[in-house]
Structure 1
């Protein structure tokens, strides 16, 4: 609690650029004024202080509102595929240097760096890596119609949604200019309350290109590769299955 009685949420740590990255992402998501995020009160190399958010029930009304707000966030756009700050996801660094198109950004900045990290740590075999590299090579052919860079959260699993009284507040972003289907695929990966309502409201506000459901495994390659790096064998099968599904598109 700050002087004056204001309640805050304080994160502490050392030896990482993650707080600066998180703060930059929160401010960037807040900038269009279409989604709720906690205010960044202070950030340093070892401390991040955020506005406190009181949570509440996950309601259908909040889910519908969130679907519309997420569509508006994506439509706010981004200057390029990438971001002008160093990225992080969980405790891992993430390359945000811009790329000319989304498939090359996704393959070279998101999927393959984590696949190779997992290989070097012995969490993926040479056969696993070859399968995923084949999927990445094929990805430009099945990525769907080209879209401009969208302003995305980048790590939009249910744990990063704070359900409040009538609204969803977004936390812990890996924000960057990316593909809007990536956020939707991340919501689907681990599930979210009222997911069908979120997706329905989103699609009413911003219709998706044909084949978006079939492309979900493509957009899940990155988070699954990250989870293999963090947690190992438990996610290896899901990652290789997603790669095989991409190759079957």
Structure 2
């Protein structure tokens, strides 16, 4: 909760505070001050330790590629069991064809930057799920051991899936080296759906709410296709800069398995059936 005490900690000359709606996890506000506009997110310190510190690190890692923009991180901190992340405010605009093309080109350019290993320097969050980012040399090992199988075990412990799905997931993980083409690791946004970027009033794409790690680049493309909202020009421009390997669209369900597992964990419902459908060939 944005209290007067917390506001005083920020040392800002606040003129107006407006709630920002749309997220499922955090409280969020647009803060108008004499120095400019800011965006602040709040959550429990004890429920999700270092949530915003890790998010800030992810934003900085994306920004350091000098490809896509991210909001400037102004401050992170904790106050009376409330953690906060203070960011530059990004005024949204209306995307046009040029903006979509530029977005695709910039994402492809970011993915082209070779990374040393699959994983990341620290564990971080996908939503409220603390994802492990231990380094691996192969995508098959990382995706199986630190994305698919931990979520499968969690869903099984919750009683949301049975042993048949667990067995199929184990079989799927054993086949990963033959499913995905071999590529160097890319820095990924990690949760690239239409709610996690802003086309600014200057037609720049600004990435928000990352769950970064170094992985197979098709993961970002798969996430972008899971819930829709990306224009065809985005994919065309991406493919011109960094052509995707043959049959990438047939592999989309396999890239979407991890985010579907998270949604099943967080929300249940029809996501369970989607998981079963993807894993059915591996029974």
> Superposed, which structure 2 residues align to 1:49-128 within 5 Å?
49-128=86-165
User: Secondary structure, in 3 states, of the residue corresponding to 1:47?
Assistant: strand
The answer to whether the 8 A contact 2:71-2:207 is kept is yes
How many aligned residue pairs are there?
A: 245
Tell me the CA shift for residue 78 of structure 1.
Answer: 2.3
The aligned residue for residue 270 of structure 2 is 234
The answer to whether the 8 A contact 1:132-1:240 is kept is no
The aligned residue for residue 183 of structure 2 is 147
Q: Name which of 240, 252, 255 aligns with 1:204.
A: 240
Distance across 2 between alignment mates of 1:142 and 1:193: 25
Tell me the CA shift for residue 236 of structure 1.
Answer: 0.5
2:246 is equivalent to residue 216 of structure 1: no
2:199 is equivalent to residue 169 of structure 1: no
* Cα deviation 1:89-130 (Å, max 9, x = unaligned): 001100011112111101111111111111111111222222
The aligned residue for residue 41 of structure 1 is 74
Distance across 2 between alignment mates of 1:244 and 1:59: 40
* Cα deviation 1:124-147 (Å, max 9, x = unaligned): 122222222222222221112x11
Measured on the aligned residues, the alpha-carbon RMSD in Å equals 1.6
TM-score, length-normalised on structure 1? Answer: 0.93
Tell me the CA shift for residue 162 of structure 1.
Answer: 1.0
More deviation, 101-110/12-21: 12-21
* Cα deviation 1:62-100 (Å, max 9, x = unaligned): 111100000111112323211112211001100011112
Structure 1 unaligned residues grouped into runs of 5+? none
Q: Name which of 12, 17, 21 aligns with 2:42.
A: 12
The answer to whether the 8 A contact 2:51-2:125 is kept is yes
Distance across 2 between alignment mates of 1:33 and 1:136: 34
The aligned residue for residue 24 of structure 2 is none
Distance across 1 between alignment mates of 2:114 and 2:209: 19
User: Secondary structure, in 3 states, of the residue corresponding to 2:175?
Assistant: helix
2:55 is equivalent to residue 22 of structure 1: yes
Structure 2 unaligned residues grouped into runs of 5+? 1-30
The answer to whether the 8 A contact 2:224-2:230 is kept is no
More deviation, 75-84/35-44: 75-84
Higher relative contact order (CA 8 A, sep 6+): 1
The 4+ residue runs of structure 1 with deviation greater than 4 A are none
Distance across 2 between alignment mates of 1:104 and 1:62: 36
* Cα deviation 1:9-62 (Å, max 9, x = unaligned): 111112222211111110000002110111111112411111101111132211
Q: Which has the higher strand share?
A: 2
